[in-house]
Amino acid sequence: MERRIFGLETEYGCMAPEHEGFVSPDAITVKVKDHVFHTDRKGIVDIHYRGRDEPPGNGGFLFNSGRVYIDMGHIEYTTPECKSLFDLVASDRAGERLLQRALRSLGLAKEASFLKNNIDHYTGATFGCHENYLIRRNVPFSMVVIPALLPFLVTRQIYSGAGRVGSYDDSFYYYGKDDVDDAGHEDPVAFQISQRADHIVTEIYQWIQFSRAIINTRDEPLADYNKYRRLHLLMGDSNISEYATALKVGTTAMVLNLLEHRIFPQDVGLGDPVWALKEISRDPTHKWILERKNGRPVSAVDIQRRYLDLAKQHLRGMDEESDWVLVEWENTLDALERDPMDLKDRLDWVAKKWMLEMFVQSEGLEWNDPWLQSLDLEFHNIDPNRGFFLDLEHKGMTRRILSEEQIARAGDEPPADTRARGRSDVIRALSENRMRYIVDWDSVYLENESQLSLLDPFETYRDAAAEFIQEIRYAAPSPRRPMRRRLR
């Protein structure tokens, strides 16, 4: 990939039995978080506030330079900064293994589960998988990035969706649309390709807590502000398929490469991107015909091909990973036009639909049967003994892009070619010394006011980290030298 840093933040749903005496989902998330840091000793906890909603001990950095923490009641795993697409996918899958191992060690795995999905069928709640991409500061964000990126993101769900039984009725947004009744309620939907589409209500917005948008505009680069901006996306689904994760992130990175060179397709602007997001997700014909700003129809596949053609023209041969993305992007679009079911070994929503359709036929069920919602959830279970997708993977029925060795290594080691490498070295040193600290993505502070700046995500900072570690070891208090209480 062309000098691109990316990362994923995944919030995991927790499912637990409601019988008396069993641990609640909220308590399970805390127990697992504590086990990761205090029993497995996979990193160091924050000993300072990271904002009003993250008190000391709420989470921390891992030795692989990612993070685990509690966010709005959910346990969240964040990958380290990655330059390699396959490093990113490996780090993402390593998070699954980390949480499942903790759940099993605590003796909770027989009844409780972590789900890598985005919805709670029983409460209507949704939780996210956030994507982060570093982009150049000199690219006009409002004038170029947002309008040129929106059509791509809206249509990307045809291969990145995780699939969903049923729908969420946001009457506020659906009011006045053609397919709602007089009470403002939408027509029932048996199955749709995206879990998040129903919950996105606007094109752009700054604060994710108040309005879920396709593109989050908060300007928080966590790097050199003069050079970079962080594109924060929260409209995508959590993918449990390695292939789908790689395709989702890889195609988005390729489009950003185009936009940074002011290259983007013309006449693909959509009349209502938010409504189009929902239309694509809910279209049972999988034709995905949309209305452009100029009123003319266009298919989601055709919009994707417009971006793909430009990427093939300008980005082919850039590196091995980029060429993989171009080949698989085209193969996927071809298969979606031919028969989406040909992709049941690669795409989450197709695998889920194929599995559920077989169950509906064998059991003689209607699509509104609550049983199907339970199966929907189990599809995303990260327990290899219980998760339906992982069972398909175990049987060799899914297309893998990683080895088990790659995933295991990503759980213990950071990427070797980003600042995650230097931060990891410092985290390991801090875990071995009684020294108060503040660790963040772009800096590390010690109680003696020493600082390690990590403003360039493309640098490894190995030498600077080595010098900083020597200072940690020199300044660390001994039993005869008490700690100064400088950090609050």
Q: What is the token pair recorded at 35?
A: 């086990």
153 in Cβ contact with 215 (< 8 Å): yes
Side chain identity at residue 73, one-letter code: G
Query: Could you count the other beta carbons within 10 Å of the beta carbon of residue 40?
Result: 15
How far is Cα 421 from Cα 81, in angstroms, rounded to an integer? 9
Helix (H, G, I), strand (E, B) or coil at 458: coil
Tokens of 152: 């791509």
Q: Catalytic pick from 26, 34, 71, 417? A: 71
Active-site annotation holds for 71: yes
In whole angstroms, what is the distance from residue 212 CA to residue 125 CA? 13
Q: Which two tokens stand for residue 434?
A: 């009684």
* Separation of first and last alpha carbons in the chain: 41
Residue 375 and residue 394: Cα distance in Å, rounded? 18
Question: What are the Cα distances from residue 410, in Å, to 62, 78, 94, 125, 324?
Answer: 11, 13, 6, 31, 21
CB 440 within 8 A of CB 46: no
Strand-pair partners of 291: 297
267 burial via Cβ count (<10 Å: 0-12, 13-18, 19+): exposed
E-state strands within 389-446: 437-439, 443-446
Neighbours of 143 (CB within 10 A): 9
What is the helix (H) or strand (E) element at residue 66, kind and residue range? none
Pick from 248, 262, 228: nearest CA to 148: 262
Amino acid identity at 203 = E
Rounded CA separation 28/32 (Å): 6
Q: What is the pLDDT along the chain (488 residues), one digit of tens a residue?
A: 678 999 999 999 999 987 777 889 999 999 999 999 999 999 999 999 887 778 999 999 999 999 999 998 899 999 999 999 999 999 999 999 999 999 999 999 999 999 999 998 888 888 989 999 999 999 999 889 999 999 999 999 999 999 999 998 764 444 334 444 444 444 578 999 999 999 999 988 876 655 789 998 889 999 999 999 999 999 999 999 999 999 999 999 999 999 999 999 999 999 999 999 999 999 999 999 999 999 999 999 999 999 999 999 999 999 999 999 999 999 999 999 999 999 999 999 999 999 999 999 999 999 999 999 999 999 999 999 999 999 999 999 999 999 999 999 999 999 999 999 999 999 999 999 988 999 999 999 999 889 999 999 999 999 999 999 999 988 766 544 444 433 33
User: CA–CA separation, 301 vs 403, rounded Å?
Assistant: 31
Please give the structure tokens belonging to residue 284: 């049972």
Residue labelled with tokens 């596949």: 301
Q: Encoding tokens for residue 11?
A: 């919030």
Which candidate, 203, 318, 322, places its Cα nearest to that of 251? 322
Indicate the pairing of strand 213-216 with strand 202-205: parallel
In whole angstroms, what is the distance from residue 114 CA to residue 99 CA? 8
* C-alpha distance from residue 211 to each of 76, 169, 238, 240 (Å): 20, 16, 19, 26
Backbone Cα Rg of the chain: 23
Sign of the Cα torsion 33, 35, 38, 43 reads negative
Task: Provide the β-strand partners of residue 82.
Answer: 6
Please give the model's pTM, rounded to 2 decimal places. 0.93
The CA distance from 325 to 457, in Å, is: 23
Question: Of 67, 81, 92, 94, nearest to 4 (Cα)?
Answer: 81
